[in-house]
Amino acid sequence: MKLPSRVTICEVGTRDGFQIEPDFIPTDLKVEVVNGLAEAGLPLIEVTSFVHPKVVPALRDAEAVMARIARRPGTVYAALVPNDTGAVRAVDAGVDEIHTVVSASESHNLANVNMTIAESLDRLHAVMRVAERAGVRVVAGISTAFGCPFEGAVPVSQVERIVARLADMGARGIGLADTTGVANPLQVTRVLEHLAPKFPTLEWGLHTHDTRAMAIPNVLAAMAHGVTHFDASIGGLGGCPFAPGASGNVCTEDLVHCLHAMEVETGIDLDRLLAVSRRVEGIVGRALPGQVVKAGPYTRRYPVPDGIAHRLPATAE
């Protein structure tokens, strides 16, 4: 396999995951998780979202969270914003990076943000101007880039048009999102083969959901085509309101474990990350989809059963 020597993982659990939890997670606990993720070596954390509190009440404490976190040198603290009002709030709160999102399908964009794609792009243009004046980097996400829960297949030409608009506005990076977990590795390969050569200066990323257990295979396909930035969520938190029963984003610790097993560096301490995952399970009050936190890393060893230990060759360990 053609793999990079190092990748960057953006932790989105405290935003994408916490925003859909049924019970409000207290600010102090959010801060604790963000700090724990940073101490584990996460290079990029999407801490929260600056949206109207009536729209996403779970993140109504965005400013307070940003004010209380302990800034770790080497970690970039980002936030998702929907419009220029949110961008101003994010800049005032001291974010290092702004993330935005628009859907590749009209129906999903209307359902998600109550705007057409054209209206969303106009709003995002205003976001870019706020970020530009503040000197803050912008990474733009494209939801339903591999398929829509309402319309089905999304033509790659439609995705290309949106990428072109975002690049013209000043986006430095583009994150392709498999919002409801419909993508497969061959599709990821074909989309990247189509888009990447047309926009060689963009930094490409992938946001995967594990709805159909395809998230890590899709990450591997993207890595083989030069993508080195991936979103992930601690414990596999998250989901999508338009995919009932769906699991969340690709699990951060499972992805890190996979990458380390293949000798791809992340800069993340897996043991510390697993400790954060266990803490998050306690905070949300249920078991999460992550597997490595249950089974342990592949290096884990078990005692040899008593009944066969005496039969092992002397050279066996």
The pLDDT, as a whole number, for residue 191 is 98
Q: Are 175 and 229 in contact (CB under 8 A)?
A: yes
Strands 8-11 and 97-103: unpaired
The pLDDT, as a whole number, for residue 311 is 87
Q: What percent of the chain has pLDDT over 70?
A: 97
Reduce the DSSP state of residue 174 to 3 states and report it. Answer: strand
DSSP state of 43: S
* Given the residues 10, 240, 251, 258, the one annotated as active site: 240
Q: Are 162 and 193 in contact (CB under 8 A)?
A: no
The answer to whether the pTM exceeds 0.85 is yes
Q: Are 134 and 81 in contact (CB under 8 A)?
A: no
pLDDT in tens, 105-137: 999 999 988 999 999 999 999 999 999 999 999
φ/ψ (deg, to 5) at 266? -125, -20
The reply to whether 148 belongs to the active site is: no
Single out the residue of 124, 135, 138 nearest to residue 85, CA to CA: 124
Could you tell me the residue ranges of all domains in the chain? 8-309
Spans in the chain with pLDDT lower than 70: 242-246, 315-317
**Which sign does the torsion angle of CA 70, 71, 77, 80 carry?**
positive
Helix then strand then coil, in percent of the chain rounded to 5, is: 45, 15, 40
Q: How far apart are CA 175 and CA 173, in angstroms?
A: 7
Reduce the DSSP state of residue 78 to 3 states and report it. Answer: strand
Q: How far apart are CA 180 and CA 211, in angstroms?
A: 7
Q: How far apart are CA 65 and CA 47, in angstroms?
A: 8
* CATH topology classification for 8-309: TIM Barrel (3.20.20)
